[in-house]
Structures are given as structure tokens and as C-alpha cells.
């Protein structure tokens, strides 16, 4: 009876430890899946914004370095690209050898390339260099399933798992349609590929599950997505290779455990749980295969984009029960021998054998309840001592695994925070001048308008336009023009030092300066300081009457009100800028306050222009 109770207690403790191990493994795997599938949609949103803003042009190759930067930051992806609806142009960056290599390449296909994919090497700055290869067949992205499905759905989505066009490896694509903000028509589709065999398989095979434990992932249709075993997740049709590959279902796996567990799950209906994935109750099963018991844990994973996967962690009971079974056989033998001895010898022998096992069982139960300080006696040199030492080692390993997992979770959270901050900065900044971009300017102006309206405080806006900038570009070249815009941006930022002030690139050679809590006189002071700084900087301009770079400025000041709109303030500043241009440039004009909100009336703005002789 004592031997039986010891066995049952040991079995219960082992089951608890096995379940803890399964929980920890499932948590780590689900977190890895969640991180892997979240990043492609962030990348797609960034590229959609860049495509709308003109930072990416698929026909000219402008913005290809953006794809390169994203591939460097998000190493989990293997291909990032966009395609357009009108001309079927295709541009992206991916890894060599169809996504399985380590070298990054620019890939381009359009009417100019005859619809064949051109592969370019990339310089250290993210620009294309030599043409390294040409695809062997025409490629029109509009005819590919990822493009057509996204066009039909009209919203971000995941593709079905498919075999890649080039590598013939299982691939899943995150897609995002890009619509014109004015007409609502489809401009194109941006997408990011993940090769499952490269990402999830590699991660699962780094895990230590148990001596012969297995973890695998399959979708709702039973297709095998990843496995910790070395087997391929592809089936070869007719015994062929490469192009004849098919997606493998779990019930057709070469591994008998995966195959039989998948067959058992086909007839098993998991409990309904209308709660988020992270807090779902785990579905546990005990399955007997070939007279061996397996502890099976099924964890569902889904997201808002349509993923519906199953994570299955299988641990053979024998991995944990072998030592307990051996020890109980020894215990039974000792009890049979004790019956032939005297009562005292029997009592001493029973105490010698049963007590250590009970202590070991109590220690194991304490560990399952999170009490890591419970002592485990390991001084004995017999089989019980071996078992105790095994439990002690297993407890230390489990404790170390928990500590390592917590550290990794903290590190991943920090990485995600830093990535989100960097993505936020990239989304709000102009790539050339490092000032705010037009999108952030519009949002910030609306924000300050309503905030200052509540506080009944003044808001000023200065629109700046570089005089004779096209002749400057024609004379000195576009690189010199870009450098000129950078220097102008620095001047504007140096003259607007308050935390609430904002300098933004409004478009081309135009800049906008938002000045909260600033009246007309204060805005004029800023304009004069800008003119003085530009005169001191003295950027040469042979095609300008002044012989150097100058700017014209339009100033508008208003007291924001709920019934008024920022568009009127912008229009007034733009009208004042136009008047400064017509009156000789290198000057500033101030719009009358009443003209800002009465657009039907036309009156010249109050001129506050002075030349440098002031």
C-alpha cells in the first residue's frame, strides 16, 4: 500500500511538473509567434504611408533604401515589397536565394524590365549597385494570389499558407491595401513575407522540451506549419522534388507521434472559449499510443487578421516516470524481503526505504506549488539518492528556465518599446531635413488649435518659401539643393527653441512654423531673426538678385475658436506669402486677422516687409 501511494504521489508530482513545463514552453512559443506575426503588419503600415507621401516610387526606385533599412531592423522577415495597381510595378528588398540566404538584394519588376524580376546587389548605404541576376519567367504581381485576395478584401489580411514563387518553401504573407486618401481608389498593395520553415521551425528546434518531447504547429485545416522534429514539412508529389512539393498535413507526417496525435485531435472538439488568446484555458489530453501514455497540451492562437493556428506540445509520460517506476520496483522488492525478517528488522527496513521516498514526494509537491526553498536530500548513495539528485537537478533547471524566461520577456518588451519609438519617429519625420513631415504638421496644428481655443490663447503660423529655388537647383544641382534645405531647416529650428514650437517641411522648398502663445509682433520677431540668420549664413545663389539664398514669409495670427478651422489660418498665411513673393521676395507679409475667417472678402495684407538694409 505504501509503495502504491508513493507511486501515485510521485506520478501526481511528475504530472504537475510536466504540466508546468508544457505551460512554460507554450508561453514562450506563443510569445514568439505573436511577435513574429505582429511585425509584418507594422512594416506594411509604414510602407503604405511612405507610398502615399511619395517617399517610395516603384517606377523610379525611389525609397528602395527604406525596404533595406526595414530588412536590417526586422531580421525575422525575408521579403518586404509593394506593388501598384495601375502599371503593375513591383519593388522590394529580400534575402538572396529566394529568402533563405543572408545577403540582401533589391528586386524590381515592371514594364521597363519586361516584367522579369531584376535582382540587384545593395551598397552599404542601402542603394542598388550591380545587376546580379534576372528571373527566368515574367512576374506580374497583380496576378498573384496575395495581391488579388487583398484587393478583393480591401483590408489588411494574411494570405493562405502557400509555396513561395521561387523557393517552393511554405510561406505566409501579411498584406495591406493602399488607397488614395482623396478618391478612395486602390493605389497598390504592400506586403511582407515570412518563410515558416526558416522562422518557426528554427525556433522550435532550439527548445529543450524533454528527452523525447515534441512541439508542432498546425492550422485549422490540419496543415503542418512547423515542428521541433527534423522532418520536412513538405510532401513530395509523386516522389518528385522542388516544383512538385505540396503542403504536408499533420496526419500524413512521417513522425508517428505527430501523425497519431493529429488523428486523435481530429475527433476531439475543444471547449468553446469566447476570450482573448492569451488568457484561454489550455486544452489538455492524455492519449495512449502503442501502450505508451502521452501528455498533450493544445493551445489555440488567433489574431484579428484571420490567423487560426494550434500549438501542440506532446510529452511522453515515460520521460518523467521511468525513474519512479524503477524505484517503485525496488521498493516492492525490499518490502517482500522485509516480510521474511523479524518484526524489528522489518520496521527498520520499512523506515529506511519508505521515509526517503515520502520526503522526496513532499519535496516534489512543494516544488509544484512554487516553493523552491524546499530542501531535497541528496546525500544518499543508493538509487533513492540518485532519484533525489535527479529531482534536485530537474528543479534547478526548471527554476533557471523560469528566470531565463522572465528575463527574455523583459528584454523583448524593451525591444518592442524601442522599436515602437523608432517607428513613431520615422512616421512623423521628414527624411531629408529631419523636421516634422506634412502629416504630422496637420495633426499638430489641429491639436494646438483646439488646445489654445480652450485656453483662449493666440496662435501664429509662418509659411516660408525659398526664393528662386528652382534656378538654384538648375545652377548647383539637386544634391546642393538638398543640402541647402537641410541648412535652412537648421536655421528655422535654431530660431524656434520653445518646446511647443514646431518646424515642418510643408512641401518641396516650403516650410511651416507653428508658434503657440505667440502674437503677430512675436511672429514678426521670429521672421526677422530668420532673415538675419540667413543673411549671416550667406548661402551663395548666383541666380538670385541678392546673390544669396533668401526666403519669403507669410504670417497669420488668430485666436482659435471652435467655429473656425485651421484651413482658414493656412489660407491666410499662404495669401500673405504670395503677396510677399509678388512684392519682390526676401520679405515677409502679415495677414490681417479679419481676413483669415472671411475668405469671400479680398483685401491686401498688412505689409511688414523690409530689405536687408533695415
Active site amino acids:
509
- Contact between 485 and 539 under an 8 Å Cβ cutoff? The reply is no
CB-based burial of residue 519 (10 Å sphere; 0-12 exposed, 13-18 middle, 19+ buried)? middle
- Contact between 549 and 467 under an 8 Å Cβ cutoff? The reply is yes
- Phi, psi for 81 (deg, rounded to 5): -160, 170
Give the number of C-alpha atoms closer than 13 A to the C-alpha of residue 453, restricted to the C-beta side: 13
Cα of first residue to Cα of last residue in the chain, in angstroms, is 108
Residues 350-360: b if buried by 16+ CB within 10 A, e if exposed? eeebbebbebb
- Phi, psi for 414 (deg, rounded to 5): -65, -40
CA distance 537 to 527: 15
CB-based burial of residue 181 (10 Å sphere; 0-12 exposed, 13-18 middle, 19+ buried)? exposed
CB atoms under 10 Å from CB of 208, counted, come to: 11
Greatest CA separation found in the chain?
A: 122
- Contact between 449 and 500 under an 8 Å Cβ cutoff? The reply is no
DSSP label of 85: T
Cα–Cα distances (Å) from 502 to 85, 430, 512, 513, 585, in that order, read 36, 13, 8, 6, 24
Residue length of the chain: 614
Cα–Cα distances (Å) from 566 to 115, 437, 539, 575, 605, in that order, read 46, 17, 33, 14, 18
CB-based burial of residue 563 (10 Å sphere; 0-12 exposed, 13-18 middle, 19+ buried)? exposed
Cα–Cα distances (Å) from 181 to 48, 154, 178, 242, in that order, read 11, 14, 9, 43
Amino acid at each position: 500500500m505504501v509503495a502504491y501511494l508513493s507511486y501515485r504521489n510521485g506520478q501526481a508530482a511528475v504530472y504537475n511538473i510536466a504540466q508546468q513545463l508544457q505551460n512554460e514552453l507554450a508561453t514562450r512559443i506563443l510569445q514568439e509567434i505573436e511577435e513574429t506575426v505582429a511585425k509584418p503588419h507594422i512594416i506594411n503600415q509604414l510602407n503604405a504611408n511612405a507610398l502615399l507621401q511619395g517617399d517610395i516610387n516603384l517606377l523610379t526606385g525611389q525609397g528602395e533604401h527604406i525596404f533595406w533599412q526595414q530588412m536590417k531592423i526586422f531580421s525575422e522577415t525575408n521579403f518586404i515589397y509593394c506593388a501598384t495597381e495601375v502599371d503593375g510595378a513591383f519593388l522590394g528588398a529580400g534575402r538572396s536565394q529566394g529568402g533563405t540566404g543572408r545577403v540582401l538584394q533589391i528586386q524590381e519588376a515592371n514594364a521597363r524590365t519586361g516584367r522579369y524580376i531584376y535582382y540587384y546587389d545593395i551598397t552599404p548605404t542601402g542603394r542598388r549597385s550591380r545587376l546580379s541576376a534576372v528571373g527566368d519567367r515574367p512576374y506580374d504581381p497583380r496576378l498573384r494570389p496575395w495581391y488579388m485576395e487583398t484587393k478583393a478584401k480591401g483590408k489588411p489580411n494574411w494570405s493562405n499558407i502557400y509555396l513561395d514563387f521561387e523557393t517552393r518553401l511554405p510561406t505566409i504573407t501579411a498584406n495591406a491595401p493602399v488607397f488614395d486618401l482623396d478618391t478612395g481608389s486602390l493605389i497598390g498593395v504592400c506586403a511582407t513575407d515570412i518563410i515558416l520553415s526558416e522562422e518557426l521551425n528554427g525556433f522550435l528546434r532550439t527548445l529543450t522540451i524533454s528527452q523525447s518531447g515534441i512541439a508542432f504547429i498546425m492550422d485549422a485545416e490540419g496543415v503542418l506549419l512547423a515542428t521541433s522534429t527534423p522532418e520536412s514539412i513538405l510532401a513530395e508529389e509523386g516522389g518528385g522534388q522542388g516544383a512538385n512539393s505540396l503542403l504536408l498535413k499533420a496526419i500524413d507526417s512521417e513522425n508517428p507521434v505527430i501523425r497519431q496525435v493529429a488523428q486523435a485531435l481530429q475527433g476531439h472538439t475543444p471547449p468553446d472559449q469566447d476570450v482573448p488568446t492569451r488568457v484561454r484555458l489550455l486544452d489538455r489530453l492524455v492519449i495512449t499510443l502503442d501502450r505508451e501514455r502521452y501528455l498533450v497540451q493544445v493551445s489555440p492562437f488567433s489574431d484579428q487578421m484571420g490567423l487560426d493556428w494550434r500549438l501542440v506540445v506532446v510529452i511522453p509520460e515515460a520521460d518523467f516516470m521511468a525513474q519512479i517506476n524503477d524505484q517503485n520496483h525496488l521498493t516492492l522488492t525490499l518490502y517482500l524481503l522485509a516480510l521474511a525478517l523479524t518484526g524489528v528488522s522489518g520496521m527498520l527496513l520499512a523506515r529506511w526505504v519508505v521515509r526517503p521516498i515520502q520526503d522526496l514526494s513532499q519535496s516534489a509537491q512543494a516544488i509544484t506549488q512554487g516553493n523552491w526553498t524546499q530542501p531535497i536530500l541528496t546525500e544518499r548513495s543508493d538509487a533513492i539518492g540518485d532519484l533525489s539528485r535527479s529531482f534536485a537537478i530537474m528543479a534547478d533547471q526548471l527554476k533557471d528556465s523560469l528566470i531565463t524566461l522572465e528575463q527574455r520577456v523583459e528584454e523583448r518588451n524593451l525591444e518592442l518599446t524601442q522599436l515602437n519609438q523608432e517607428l513613431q519617429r520615422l512616421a512623423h519625420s521628414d527624411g531629408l531635413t529631419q523636421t516634422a513631415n506634412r502629416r504630422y504638421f496637420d495633426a499638430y496644428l489641429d491639436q494646438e488649435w483646439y488646445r489654445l481655443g480652450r485656453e483662449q490663447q493666440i496662435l501664429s503660423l509662418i509659411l516660408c518659401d525659398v526664393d528662386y529655388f528652382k534656378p538654384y537647383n538648375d545652377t548647383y544641382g539637386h544634391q546642393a539643393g538638398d543640402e541647402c534645405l537641410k541648412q535652412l531647416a537648421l536655421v528655422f529650428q535654431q530660431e524656434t527653441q520653445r518646446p511647443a514650437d514646431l518646424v515642418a517641411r510643408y512641401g518641396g522648398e516650403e516650410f511651416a512654423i507653428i508658434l503657440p502663445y505667440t502674437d503677430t509682433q512675436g511672429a514678426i520677431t521670429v521672421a526677422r531673426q530668420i532673415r538675419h540668420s540667413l543673411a549671416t549664413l550667406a548661402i551663395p545663389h548666383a541666380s538670385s538678385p541678392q546673390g544669396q539664398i533668401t526666403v519669403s514669409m507669410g504670417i497669420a495670427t488668430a485666436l482659435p475658436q471652435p467655429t473656425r478651422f485651421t484651413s482658414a489660418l493656412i489660407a491666410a498665411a499662404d495669401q500673405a506669402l504670395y503677396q510677399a513673393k509678388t512684392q519682390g521676395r526676401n520679405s515677409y507679409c502679415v495677414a490681417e486677422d479679419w481676413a483669415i475667417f472671411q475668405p469671400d472678402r479680398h483685401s491686401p495684407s498688412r505689409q511688414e516687409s523690409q530689405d536687408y538694409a533695415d
